[in-house]
Structure 1
Amino acid sequence: LCCTDGKHCCPEGTTCDVSSGKCNRGDMTAIDWFKKVPANVGSVKCPDGQSECKTGQTCCKLASGQYGCCPIPKAVCCTDGKHCCPEGTTCDVSSGKCNRGEIAVMDWFEKVPANVGSVKCPDGQSECKTGQTCCKLASGQYGCCPIPKV
C-alpha cells in the first residue's frame, strides 16, 4: 500500500497514518511504515527470461548454467563461464586475456551475478526486485516498497 506522502508504504490490510508515521490495522497501531527505495530504470533481460543485468552490461552464462552480468556492453562471453571480453576481441582462456587478432590487448573482465526476477512498474521503465511493490514517489517517478503486493 503506497502512502499519500509519496515516501512510505505499508503492508496489505493496513492503512497509512501519515501524521504518526505508522501503519494501522483497525484501531491499533500495527508497525512502523517502510521507506521506499529508488526503482531500477532500464535493464537488460537475459535469455532465461528471469535474470537481468543493468543497462550497459551483457548477460553471459556462468559455469553453473545460470546467468551473470559482464560489466561492459555487447561483450564476448568467455567459455570458462567466469569472464568476458569487449566486442571485437576474443577470449584467450589459457592466458586470461582479451585478444584482438594475435595480440593480447587487455585483461579480461569477471562476471557478476545477475538479478533474478523483477516487478515492472506502471511507467514501463522502472522496476523493483521480486517481493517489492512499485509506488509512485512525490516526484512522480517510481520507488520500491520493500514488501510484496498481495
Structure 2
Amino acid sequence: MREGLNALKKKIIDLEKAAKADIVKMVVEATRQEVEATPDQPLVIKQLEAGADLKALNEAVKIYKVKSPRTAAMLFSADNTAGKVVVQCWVPKETVTKGLKAGEWVNHVKDVLGARGGGKDNTAQASGTNVDALSQAVTMATDFANLKLSN
C-alpha cells in the first residue's frame, strides 16, 4: 500500500511540474507574439495568466530584454487559490537615465500587494499575498512610470 501511495505522489508531482512547464510555455509564446507585433513600446505594464510563477514572468521579461530592448516592462500575475501575487520588472539603461528605476518601481507597488521584494536599477521583483489589490497595483505602477518618464 505504501508503494502505491508513493507512486501516486510521484505521479502528482510530475503532473504539477508538467502543468507549470505548460504555463511557462504559454506565457513565453504569448509574450513573444506580442513583442513581435509591437516591438520597442516605451512602457508595458500588464497582468499575465501565470499563477504565482515568478519563473514564467522572468522568462517573459527576458523576451523584452532581447527582442524589445527599449521597453520598460512590469509584469504581474496572481494565483487566487494560493493567495499569492508576483511582480517582475525590467527597465533598460536609457529609461533608467530618464528617471524610472526598477527597484523604485517595484517598491512603489509592493506595499499595496503585501509583498516583499526589491531590486536594482534594471531589474526587480516582488512576491505578496494581497491578490485583491492587483488591479490597484497595476494602476499605481502605470501612474508611477508615467510620472517618472514625464520629467
Instruction: From the CA coordinates, give the structure whose radius of gyration is larger.
Output: 1
- Greater per-residue helix proportion: 2
- What TM-score does the superposition give when structure 2 sets the normalisation length? 0.23
- Greater per-residue strand proportion: 1
- What TM-score does the superposition give when structure 1 sets the normalisation length? 0.23
